[in-house]
């Protein structure tokens, strides 16, 4: 059971699960947004149809080498984050390729995709892409601070930098980290609002304002790659939150319920909010989320 082939098989299967679940969640969020706006909305499988259509586009444009690499970087980053996040906590299925210190590695690899995309968007020469990249990186400076603070608080409190260790602590003690370190959870969830880029933090890909920002020159198969990478990354992030704060999940049904509950926080906050400006967004993240992050670190050091 410990052979590397078994683990690799788990990685492939968890990629397929992540793709399917992520796409379905995004379709459901479109449906929920429509219902909030008193519309009927597209069917929940609309994103699969869109992906099929984008994949079957017959022409593509060429702006340079980096433009082709941009979406590939995004995909690589998503898959790598997924590979080191254990999907289930029973220690047998889908434990994936995690190792000691993977929480620190994860902090780096989650930024890698957007940076690669920034290079790719720069090559297209579209001014909207350049503005979108600037906004995205500024916003990242905003939400990375409470996010890192929340994770550092967990590392200090439990003396470990391994996701599996944190999951085992929750299984052994019987309390989820959402109860034993609540301030870290609050900071992490507020940072997640920026990570998912739904309103009011959709300043990067604002369709009417920036013509969808970094992806404005990418159509067809490039857009398909970005869409699937976003789905996989969304699933990876939601699973990470469930692993860290909600005690992991012992089977897929439990995982789906917990991730869906977490996913509803940015979606439902988004459908009732208009869009922030860039400086408002950064000010938001350096306000209460950072305060809760500091509180979490103080809590971890002194209690």
Torsional sign, CA 285, 228, 167, 99: negative
Judged by DSSP in three states, 162 sits in coil
Asked whether 247 and 153 are in contact (CB, 8 A), the reply is no
The greatest distance separating any two alpha carbons of the chain, rounded to the nearest whole angstrom, comes to 61
CB of 220 to another protein, least distance (A): 5
| Nearest to another protein of 61, 298 (CB atom) | 61
CB of 22 to another protein, least distance (A): 18
| Nearest to another protein of 42, 182 (CB atom) | 42
CB of 142 to another protein, least distance (A): 24
Asked whether 124 and 78 are in contact (CB, 8 A), the reply is no
CA atoms within 13 A on the CB side of 288: 8
Burial 176-207 (b: 16+ CB within 10 A, else e): bbbebbebbbbbbbbbbbbbbbbbbbbbbbbe
Cα–Cα separations (whole angstroms), residue 299 to 144, 157, 243: 20, 8, 21
Q: Give Cβ neighbours of residue 258 (< 8 Å, ≥ 6 apart).
A: 242, 246, 249
CA atoms within 13 A on the CB side of 256: 10
CB of 58 to another protein, least distance (A): 5
CB of 77 to another protein, least distance (A): 22
Asked whether 78 and 138 are in contact (CB, 8 A), the reply is no
| Nearest to another protein of 223, 300 (CB atom) | 223
| Nearest to another protein of 144, 209 (CB atom) | 209
Footprint on this chain of another protein (rule: CB under 8 A): 30, 34, 37-43, 46, 49-50, 52-53, 56-62, 128, 207-208, 211-212, 215-220, 223
CB of 204 to another protein, least distance (A): 12
CB of 123 to another protein, least distance (A): 14
d(CA 156, CA 233): 27
| Nearest to another protein of 3, 59 (CB atom) | 59
| Nearest to another protein of 115, 211 (CB atom) | 211
| Nearest to another protein of 14, 212 (CB atom) | 212
| Nearest to another protein of 210, 297 (CB atom) | 210
CB of 47 to another protein, least distance (A): 9
d(CA 164, CA 166): 5
């Amino acid at each position: 059971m410990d052979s590397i082939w078994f683990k690799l098989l788990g990685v492939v299967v968890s990629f397929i699960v992540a793709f399917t679940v992520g796409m379905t969640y995004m379709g459901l969020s479109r449906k929920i947004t429509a219902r909030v706006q008193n519309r009927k909305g597209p069917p929940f499988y609309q994103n699969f149809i869109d992906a099929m259509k984008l994949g079957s586009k017959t022409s593509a444009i060429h702006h340079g080498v980096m433009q082709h690499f941009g979406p590939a970087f995004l995909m690589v980053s998503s898959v790598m984050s997924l590979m080191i996040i254990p999907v289930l906590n029973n220690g047998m299925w889908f434990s994936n390729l995690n190792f000691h210190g993977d929480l620190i590695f994860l902090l780096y690899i989650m930024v890698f995709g957007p940076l690669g995309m920034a290079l790719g968007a720069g090559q297209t020469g579209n001014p909207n892409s350049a503005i979108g990249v600037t906004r995205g990186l500024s916003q990242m400076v905003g939400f990375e601070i409470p996010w890192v603070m929340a994770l550092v608080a967990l590392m200090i409190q439990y003396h470990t930098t391994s996701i599996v260790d944190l999951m085992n602590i929750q299984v052994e003690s019987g309390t989820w980290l959402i109860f034993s370190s609540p301030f870290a959870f609050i900071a992490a969830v507020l940072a997640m609002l920026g990570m998912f880029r739904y309103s009011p933090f959709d300043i990067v890909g604002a369709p009417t304002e920036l013509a969808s920002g970094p992806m404005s020159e990418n159509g067809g198969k490039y857009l398909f790659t970005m869409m699937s990478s976003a789905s996989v990354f969304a699933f990876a992030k939601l699973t990470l939150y469930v692993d860290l704060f909600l005690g992991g999940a012992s089977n897929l049904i439990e995982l789906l319920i917990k991730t869906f509950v977490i996913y509803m926080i940015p979606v439902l906050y988004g459908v009732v909010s208009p869009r922030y400006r860039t400086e408002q967004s950064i000010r938001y993240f350096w306000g209460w989320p950072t305060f809760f992050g500091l509180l979490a670190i103080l809590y971890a050091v002194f209690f």
